[in-house]
Amino acid sequence: MKDRIFQSEFMYSFLVSPGWKFLRLYFYPTQYNSSFDVVNSFFSVNDNGFTLLQNFNANLTAKGSIPESNSLIKEFIVRTERALYLTFTPSPNSLALVNGIEIEQT
């Protein structure tokens, strides 16, 4: 998956087998163009109605890590039935982004 940038709510749906899964979200925040400011890009991510990330800023999180990084991975363990629904919701006057999504059987 390459860069995905959303100006409004967007949902990914993945058909999966029932059970527990590792869910990894990959972020590589960078200045894509003059109209997209990663410093002010806050968004939330939900999985089947459960909040995974809220008011999240990938750039500030990566820059605040020790050691400082240009990218980051957020990993979750989620339970699924037959589908995994990931919803990305940008905050008002903001954008959401993701660079990769990985789903793995536990």
| pLDDT on residue 41 | 87
- DSSP letter (8 states) at residue 94: -
Collect all residues with Cβ–Cβ distance below 8 Å to 4 and sequence separation of at least 6: 10, 97, 98, 99
Residue 8 pLDDT:
93
Q: What is the DSSP string of 24-81?
A: EEEE-----STT--GGG--EEEEETTEEEEEEE-HHHHHHTSSS--S-EEEEEEEEES
Residue 57 belongs to a domain with what CATH number?
2.60.120.430
Question: Could you tell me the pTM of the whole model?
Answer: 0.88
Q: How confident is the model at residue 19 (pLDDT cuts 50, 70, 90)?
A: very high
User: Hey, what amino acid is at 98?
Assistant: V
Distance (Å, whole) CA 93 – CA 76: 27
Contact 101, 26 (CB under 8 A): yes
Domain extent for 65: 4-105
Q: Is the pLDDT of residue 48 over 80?
A: yes
pLDDT of residue 59: 86
Question: For the chain, how many structural domains are there in total?
Answer: 1
